[in-house]
Each structure stands twice: as structure tokens, then as C-alpha cells.
Structure 1
């Protein structure tokens, strides 16, 4: 079982300090989404060459469904740049969040089409542009479903799978499984994971209250069993709030998750 953590959760003022903390605490990888992404690629490459910590993902950016065409174009260029960066520094993939917000930002054009249908079609059209770029670079894209209080267009794994199927392309658009969001949206987490076997490319872990796993009431066992049955061998990335004593708390949470994973 391999563990990663989001960049801005990690104690430290610089990327090397954060990587050192991850190594000392026993984690395997980092997910970059903060100031480290502004560093020159050569500097990032050198930092990771000096560390045993791997690079689980880069965030691609949010804005593919912005009402402003110029901002949509900027987001696509940023995602293309992140794909290139991932290839240059050895990142495993690029994470994509389709949108934030509880409803469409584009206008309702009824009776021709609704704002929601328009945004879904726009998302698919833009992913069809980006997937071949990522495939040519050998970089998977991770489509992340979010819960209904944070987003509306992709809330469940099956919705992400449906979009990936419509995009088709080179098969390198996969779906993320985030236990916090699944705990809100999925009727049966294990069944949803089993139905997506082979297409889940990254996993986030947080408990029911978005604290470290083991601090809430979410049962990780069935989901872990389904991931194992589907052959998932990627990272389990912490995306949650940390306690005041993060070293001991994260170590305890990893031990808890390993016990659950081994028993699943």
C-alpha cells in the first residue's frame, strides 16, 4: 500500500522541506497543487532527483467550463503545460476537476438545451482535445468526481465513467475514487468501485468528517477490497485536515489504513 499527500497539507515552508517530512513520516509520494508548480521544470526535476519521494500527480486546473471563452482557453493551455511538466519531471498523472459550484455557470437555453447539458457537452468536447495531448505524452488524466455540495456535473464514479466513455480516445482518461466524496454520493462504495475496475487511476482518502482516516465513521474495508479485486496498485493520497501533531497522527492513520487494507 502506497501513500501520497497533497502539497499544501504537508508541514514545511519549501518543497524540499515537505519532501523531507514525507520521507521521515513514511509516505511515498506527493501531489503538487500549490506554489511548487511555479518553480522552473529543471529546478523541480533536480529537487525530485535528490529525494526518494515520488510525484503522484499534478493538478491541471479548474476553468474548462468558465463562461468566458478566454478563461476556458487559458485553462486548456494550463492543462497542456501541466501535461508537459508531468512528462518532464516524472509525475504519474494530471488531476482534473471539471468544475466547482452547485449549478451550471453557462446559460439555460431551453427549449434548445439546458445549462447543465450544455456544460456536459462542452466538457466532453474539451476533453477530446486534451486526451490525445496527454496520450502522446504518456500521461494519464485523472477525472475527479466531487460531492454535490462542491460540484454538480460529476458527483459519482459512474458519471465520470460515462464521460470517459464518450470521450473515448486513447483510453488514458481515468476516474478517481475519493473516499470522502464517495461516502456522500455513492449508494454502495464497493459496488461503484467494482463497476469501474481497471479505470480507477488514483485514490484519495479522508474520513467521513474530512479528518485523517480513523477519525470518523467511514468503513474503508469494502472499498479497499473492491480496489484490490480490481487490481488497483496506485497511491492512496491523503486529502484531509491534519491534527496539531501531524507526525504521530499521520503515522497512526497509515497504520490504521494498512490494517484495514490487509484485512479486506
Structure 2
């Protein structure tokens, strides 16, 4: 398992669960100094994470790009893959495609979380759950297929807690969604993987370690935060059984810190790398 830390360049997301903010190179320099293997970047659009911008910085600081986030599609541009408006759904797909095309040449998969939207009134209309899931599966099939054929990278889908979406809240439901995508395109379904976010799982899963074991090979990325979304070690989550479950399923991906900059960014990053080394490495 490898370590990563988040850097957000999205001003509209300020106050959210990202460790470093605003300055890509400064965040990389601090990540490298602490010994992280990679960074995970959230940008307002693909232009700020283009290979011409990011690759020289990665090389300079001897880092990998673990993943690229698409959350700005919602928090900045208000785009959702399950919008009742077909034009908005098309724009959402194009936004994600742009992020895939930026990160893909550097081997970085895109993460779809908040852009998945919701159903019913929470989703901005009277769309029922089955229709919203159908639209989501169709979008994921298209985008996962694009990521695979154009760049040879995975697409990461993130189940969120009930306060952020009413579509897919746990690993088991995420596996069912992958199966739904596979019915549209077997290749796209095989290329779609789940993000196990330990903060969301703390809310939705009765047993995080058991859920990870059940998710098995579908688990393709891990977000590390404590029960209160502060950095690992500053809440009440017991990470030892979680790390053991990841070992049992043969997980070798990133353990990426998506947590509040508490009490500040430098301390948050230090807390995270210490827990990573003592529990996950």
C-alpha cells in the first residue's frame, strides 16, 4: 500500500476535507518532504492539471499522481450525472471526460463522488431512484470505457454517506452499481472500481473491515480520515483491523489523506503519514 495526500485548487470547496490548498507546487514540496509517495489533486477544471503543468512538478519532487478529483464539477459548476436535465447530464459527462483526459496520460484515474447527484427532490426534480441509477450507470459505462480505451486507467466511483447523496451509500450498493454498469458494457464494468472512504464508511457501514473484505477486488482506492473527518489519529476509528482487511484482499493501491487541515495543513499531513507508516505501510 502506498501513501498519498490531497491538494485542492478549488476555492469554492474551501473548508472541505483536503489537507493542502491553493498552491500545487508548495503542496507537492511539503508532501515530498514528509515522505508521501503521491498526491491526489482536485482542480476547478482540466487545464490546471494538464500534463504540461503537473508532470514537471511530479518529476521535480519525485512524486506520483495518485488520482484526480471531479468534485469541482458539482461545487463550482453545479453539474450532476443524474440531473433531470439532459443537457446538464451531457455537460457533466464532458466535464468528467476532460478530467480523465488530463490525468490519464500521467496514469492517474479520475474519481466520481459528488457529481453523481441524488434522486427525487434532493436531485432537483421528481426523478425516481431507478431512473437516476440508470442514468448514473450509463454515464459511468461511457466514462469508464473512455478511461480504459484512451488512457488505460481505471475510473473510480465513490459511495457517499446519506447526508451527501441518497443513491449509493455503502460498498455493497457500490458493487451492485458496478454490476449494473457491466450489463451495459462488460469492459467498462471491469474497469470501474470503488473508493473506500473511511469517513463515509464510518457513518454507513456496521463494520468497515468486513465491508472491505466483502468488496474485495472492487476496492481500488482508499481515502484516509478519522471518524470526525480530522486526520487519522485524531478521532476514534481503529485503523488496525481496516489495514488488515486491506491486506487480506490483496490491496496495493493508495491510502490517500482526504481530511480536514486540522489543526493546520502541516500538522494534518504529519498526523497522516505517521498513521500510514505505523498501521498501513
TM-score past 0.5 threshold: yes
* Equivalent in the alignment of 1:29: 38
* Equivalent in the alignment of 1:2: 2
Runs (5+) with no aligned partner, structure 1? 109-113
CA contact 2:104–2:147 (8 Å) conserved in 1 = no
Which of structures 1 and 2 has the larger relative contact order (alpha carbons within 8 angstroms, sep 6+)? 2
Q: Which has the larger radius of gyration?
A: 1
* Match among 123, 128, 132 for residue 105 of structure 1: 123
**By percentage of residues, which structure has more helix?**
2
TM-score computed with the length of structure 1 as normaliser: 0.88
TM-score computed with the length of structure 2 as normaliser: 0.83
Q: 1:132 to 1:37 in 2, by over 3 A?
A: closer
CA contact 1:59–1:95 (8 Å) conserved in 2 = yes
1:251 aligns with 2:251: no
1 CA distance for matches of 2:258 and 2:25?
20
RMSD: 2.2
* Match among 59, 66, 86 for residue 83 of structure 2: 66
* Equivalent in the alignment of 1:193: 212
* Equivalent in the alignment of 1:126: 139
CA contact 2:19–2:269 (8 Å) conserved in 1 = no
Offset from partner CA, 1:44-95 (integer Å, 9 cap, x none): 233323231110111234411122222211111122222222222x133110
* Match among 57, 62, 68 for residue 52 of structure 1: 62
Q: 1:221 to 1:36 in 2, by over 3 A?
A: same
* Equivalent in the alignment of 2:100: 83
Local SS of the residue matching 2:4: strand
Offset from partner CA, 1:123-145 (integer Å, 9 cap, x none): 11222222211110211011101
Local SS of the residue matching 1:198: helix
2 CA distance for matches of 1:7 and 1:213?
17
Q: 1:48 to 1:131 in 2, by over 3 A?
A: same
Runs (5+) with no aligned partner, structure 2? 9-17, 75-79
Q: 1:158 to 1:37 in 2, by over 3 A?
A: same
CA contact 1:32–1:59 (8 Å) conserved in 2 = yes
